[in-house]
Amino acid sequence: MNLRALISGSDVRGKALGEGAVLNDALAGRLGAAFAAWLYRKNGSRPKIYIGRDSRLTGEALSQACAEGMRSAGAEVVYVGLCTTPAMYMVLIDEGWGGDGSVMVTASHLPPERNGFKFFLPDGGIGLETLEEILRLAEGDDDLGMAGGTLETADYLPAYQELLRQRILKCLDTDVPKPLLGLHVAVDAGNGAGGFYASFLEKLGAWVEGSRYLDPDGRFPNHIPNPEDPAAMASISEAVRQSGADMGVIFDTDCDRAAIVDHTGKEINRNRLIALVSAMLLNRTPGITVVTDSVTSSGLKKFIGEWGGVQYRYKRGYHNVIEEARRLNEAGVDCPLAMETSGHAALRENHFLDDGMYLVTLLIGEAMRLKQQGGDLFDLIADLKEPMESAEVRLTIRAADFRTAGKEAIEAVMDKAFGTPGWNIAPDNREGVRITFDLDGEIESAWFLLRLSVHDPVLPLNMESDVRGGNLKMAKALLEILKGNENLDVTNLERYIEKEEKR
């Protein structure tokens, strides 16, 4: 089998349950053996590797098989069972633990029948080049067996929770055993791996009435654990309103992403969440730079600027955003936050690890601190300007060489912008083409971004307007450029226009 067909970013993902499943115990074992062999060749010594899983139905069998594969290749394997993706990195650098590598069996927010493997080293998640080396070993005919491997079990989550507890204490400058007394937080884990977070908060004194779907259940019977999913956000909003909580938090399946809602149930995700975290950091350190992905709103850029910060838009994809933040820091730019609108957030103080649970822990600590002072966390984003209209339309690329076809379509739009008065190419865009418009006499009152998807043969189109009907005007103008392109299916754009015209 061509394992490289299963690459998704720098992870391995595929169907693991039902007809057509490609991830099975044998494949998991071979991947484990290849990772162990790769680490041995890299370090020249027997590797110590941790492995954990989320709540998916296939997680237990796949993680056990992968663990056995690593053991058979001579590794010292520690099986930690149900865990979060960020914890599977922290175990490598946490004092008293430590190791050469780790594996997390997860497919993040994908449907229950899917699963996958994430690989970590002590300096972070592996890159695509390293993953391809590991997969070539797995695909080869080499006997990767080596005597002397061991397999033991351990529970790392208590140690990970202690790291979070210490961060709460630092935020509140206290050492009391129940620093969150008086704060009411509802938690929705979506039956993923993060259900323990409610009891963690409760031990610190928080009231967690209204929390729901805490038990791990890989069928995800209540809603998909995904902070971008409308049903998931409606669930945590409902939980907060019904219980009267001060705030609510929700995680994806493996807890590397999160979102929150305020006491009214209003969603604080995407641009709002980036704004909230940015304001919290800017309160401490004016002048910082925040790296985001390319689809953030113009209101966010203005908000961060008014708070005394700098927004640096970069390419979509949380790995891209994180690596650019690292590069900026190495170049001397004070950049403590890399954050994508999907909810991936990585802070310099936390090793630039995208950890949704760490993020909400920071926000809960800040909410408690402000409540003690008579303030409210969500007042920090009271001045964030929201667009009147916002939409995303995805255009399918028909051509086999979809990357070339997509770039050609983007270049055609860019050529139009260069030659058309009122079409302004955003000077700070670093992906695709972002055009701003001055509609109804208002400067930069609308924009669209057309870019190539990170993985798929798709051109996502994001549009926002501060004036009514602005998105329709932009969509029509864009359709005129793209409708003659045989490599593009513009049906979705035509449907969007038709829908907007009927309003």
Last residue of some domain: 337, 362, 381?
381
* Surface-to-core class of residue 165, CB atoms within 10 Å of its CB (0-12 exposed, 13-18 middle, 19+ buried): middle
* Residues 413 and 364 both lie in one domain: no
Q: Which residues pair with 464 in a beta bridge?
A: 390, 447
Q: Which residues of 40-62 are buried (b: 16+ CB within 10 A; e: fewer)?
A: beeeeebbbbbbbbbbbebbebb
Q: Are residues 230 and 120 in the same domain?
A: no
Q: Do 191 and 99 lie in a common domain?
A: no
Q: Based on the domain organization, do 374 and 496 belong to the same domain?
A: no
Same-domain status, 435 and 355: no
> What's the pLDDT score for residue 456?
85
Q: How many Cα neighbours within 13 Å face the side chain of 181?
A: 5
Q: Distance between CA atoms of 421 and 442, rounded to whole angstroms? A: 15
The whole-angstrom separation of Cα 452 and Cα 430 is 12
Q: How far is CA 225 from CA 57, 192, 410, 435, in A?
A: 14, 7, 34, 34
Provide the angle, in degrees to the nearest 10, between the axes of the packed helices 470-482 and 402-418: 120
Same domain, 314 and 451: no
Residues 136 and 234 in one domain: no
**Total domains in the fold of the chain:** 3
CA–CA gap between residue 238 and residue 463 (Å, rounded): 29
Q: Helix, strand, coil proportions of the chain in percent (round to 5)?
A: 40, 20, 40
259-294 confidence digits (pLDDT tens): 999 999 999 999 999 999 999 999 999 999 999 999
Structural domain of 363? 160-381
Q: What is the pTM of this model?
A: 0.93
User: Which of 381, 405, 434 finishes a domain?
Assistant: 381
Tell me if 198 sits within 8 A of 211, measured CB to CB: yes
pLDDT tens, the chain, 503 aa long: 678 889 988 899 999 999 999 999 999 999 999 999 999 999 999 999 999 999 999 999 999 999 999 999 999 999 999 999 999 999 999 999 999 999 999 999 899 999 999 999 999 999 899 999 999 999 998 899 999 999 999 999 999 999 999 999 999 999 999 999 999 999 999 999 999 999 999 999 999 999 999 999 999 999 999 999 999 999 999 999 999 999 999 999 999 999 999 999 999 999 999 999 999 999 999 999 999 999 999 999 999 999 999 999 999 888 899 999 999 999 999 999 999 999 999 999 999 999 999 999 999 999 999 999 999 999 999 999 999 999 999 999 999 999 999 999 999 999 999 989 889 999 887 899 999 998 887 888 999 999 998 778 999 999 999 999 999 999 999 999 999 999 999 999 999 999 999 88
Nearest to 483 by CA among 471, 493, 474: 493
Percent of the chain at pLDDT > 90 equals 91
Q: How far apart are CA 387 and CA 352, in angstroms?
A: 30
Q: Which pLDDT does position 189 carry in this prediction?
A: 98
- Radius of gyration for the alpha carbons in the chain, expressed in angstroms and rounded: 23
Q: What whole-number distance in Å separates Cα of residue 38 and Cα of residue 41?
A: 5
**Is residue 402 located within the same domain as residue 377?**
no
**Whether 376 and 448 share a structural domain:** no
Q: Which of 355, 390, 378 is nearest to 467 (CA)?
A: 390
User: What pLDDT does residue 1 have?
Assistant: 65
Q: What are residue 48's DSSP bridge partners?
A: 76
> What is residue 429's predicted lDDT score, i.e. its pLDDT?
79
**At 118, which CATH number?**
3.40.120.10
Based on the domain organization, do 319 and 404 belong to the same domain? no
**Measured between alpha carbons, how far is residue 275 from residues 31, 207, 386, 415 in Å?**
40, 26, 11, 33
The CATH number for 488's domain is 3.30.310.50
For residues 24 and 79, state if they share a domain: yes
Tell me: do 48 and 9 sit in the same domain.
Answer: yes
Last residue of a domain, one of 351, 381, 411: 381
Quote the CA–CA distance of 344 and 257 in Å, as a whole number: 5
